[in-house]
Structure 1
Amino acid sequence: MSGFQVFNRTTGDCFACQEGQSVLKAIEQRGLKCVPVGCRGGGCGFCKIRVLEGHFECGKMSKRYAPPEAVEKGEVLACRIYPRTDLMIECMPQPAAPLAEQTKTKP
C-alpha cells in the first residue's frame, strides 16, 4: 500500500497518510492534536483545515462548513479528504462561541 507525506505547517509535524485514508484518520493514528474531532463524517465542521500545497480527493462534506468556494481555496474537513500527492496543511482556529452563549445563565 502506497502513501503520502503530510506536513502540518501549524505544528511542524510530518506524518504518513496511506492511499485511501483520510487525513483525520492519519492524524488520529499518530496521536497528534491538530484539530478537534467531532462526527468524523463531514457534517460538524470541527476538523477544518487548509490545504496549502498538494492534491486531494474530497468525500461528501457539509456545504455549511465547507462551501464550494472554500473548498476551491483548500479549506476542507480533514475527515473527508484523501491525499493524491504529498500535502502541506495548516490547522484552522475554531471560532469562539458567540458572547451570548458564553454568558447565558441557567434559570
Structure 2
Amino acid sequence: MDKRYKPVSVPEQVRQRVALLESITNQPGMSLTQAVRELRTGLRLTVPEYAKLTKVAIRTIHDIEAGKANPSLATANKLLAPFGLMLGVVKPQGDRHESS
C-alpha cells in the first residue's frame, strides 16, 4: 500500500473498495486507461504493487495509464481480473445509429 496514505481500518477498506467498484461499473463507457488508473489509485496501490498483483510489467502499466499503449485483450483482462472485472463491449450512450 502506498505509504503516503494513513492506514485505514479493514471495514473502511472494504467500504472504499465497494464504492470504487460501484463507481467504475456505473460507467460502462469508461476507457481502460481511466479504469486502470482509478482502480490502482483508488486502492492506494503503487505501480510496482499493481504490477505484482496483476503480473503485468511496470512499464506496461505506466504506458497504459499515460495513454501510450494499446494493450491486448489478455493484458487488459489481467489488469481487471483481480477486481472481478473484465473488458467488454458496450453501445455508446446517445448512439442513434442502429444496425439494419
Q: Normalising by the residue count of structure 1, what TM-score does the alignment of the two structures yield?
A: 0.27
Q: Relative contact order: is structure 1 or structure 2 higher (C-alpha 8 Å, sep ≥ 6)?
A: 1
Higher helix share: 2
Q: Normalising by the residue count of structure 2, what TM-score does the alignment of the two structures yield?
A: 0.28
